[in-house]
Amino acid sequence: MQLKNAVVLITGANRGIGLAFAREALARGARKVYAAARDPATVRLEGVEAIRLDVTDADQVARAAAHCGDVTLLINNAGIAAPGGFLADPTLESARRQFETNFFGPLRMAQAFAPVLARNGGGAILNVLSIASWLNRPLLGVYGSTKSAAWALTNGLRHELRAQGTLVTGLHMGFVDTDLTRGIDMPKSTPESVVRQALDAVEAGQEEVLADDVTRQVKASLASAQSAYLAAA
């Protein structure tokens, strides 16, 4: 699909990667961009329609699907992270909160918007995943698990939605230079670079995006005897 004249809905669009998606969609000629956030007042980008949407709230998701019945591209970007390992201080409640946003959120959105996309010719879903889908480390414990689950969700949705002509693309990347990674001393991609690659892939009909060298190396290692996810930290 092409972004020109598309109608795009982006979750978590008030900052970071979500805001970069909104800007790039407008730059590519999208007819309408719904910029979704828990507090729409935090969306300050001109040219978009800000909507209230908490992906953990089933009623808000249903209302969004009813209001945004012209969507042709759904970008599931909203996510949260609470650093810590499985045996560290974060409680089961913290783990549930992360799964509610990072896994059940995209699942709710896909269930609500699959009929919308079907009515509008198929369209596409872009799920923002992570290198943590494959590489779990002590500081990424539960977060990595949510992204592994979201990767499996992405692959399953791809099969279920193929018959209605909906492209399902997974975006994997390492650290991105946003407020969420401030203070982390690691190489980082810019949000703009990640977003350009992701939307190029959607326009080309590609199903997976590996947005940086580290992510490509980790993916390539999965079938090797020294797979990255088995290596010592």
DSSP state, residue 104: I
Which tops the pLDDT comparison, 217 or 169?
A: 169
CATH number at residue 95: 3.40.50.720
pLDDT one-digit tens code per residue, 87-108: 876 688 999 999 999 999 999 9
Q: Is residue 66 part of a domain?
A: yes
Contact assessment for residue 188 and residue 181, using Cβ atoms and an 8 Å cutoff = yes
Q: Beta strand pairing status for 73-76 and 208-210?
A: unpaired
Residue 197: which residues within 8 A CB-CB, separation 6 or more? 171, 209, 211
Q: Is residue 2 part of a domain?
A: no
Q: Is residue 101 part of a domain?
A: yes
What's the number of domains the chain is made of?
1
Q: Is residue 44 part of a domain?
A: yes
How many Å apart are CA 120 and CA 7, to the nearest integer?
A: 10
Percent of the chain at pLDDT > 90 equals 76
Q: Output the six-digit token pair for 58.
A: 């089933």
pTM, full prediction? 0.93
| Residues carrying an active site annotation | 143, 147
Closest to 29 (Cα-Cα) out of 6, 8, 9: 6
Q: Is residue 137 part of a domain?
A: yes
- Domain residues for the domain of 111 are 7-230
pLDDT one-digit tens code per residue, 32-45: 999 999 999 999 99
Q: Is residue 1 part of a domain?
A: no
Q: Is residue 165 part of a domain?
A: yes
For residue 233, the model assigns a pLDDT of: 44
pLDDT band (50, 70, 90) for residue 229: low
Range scoring the smallest mean pLDDT among 6-15, 86-95, 182-191, 224-233: 224-233
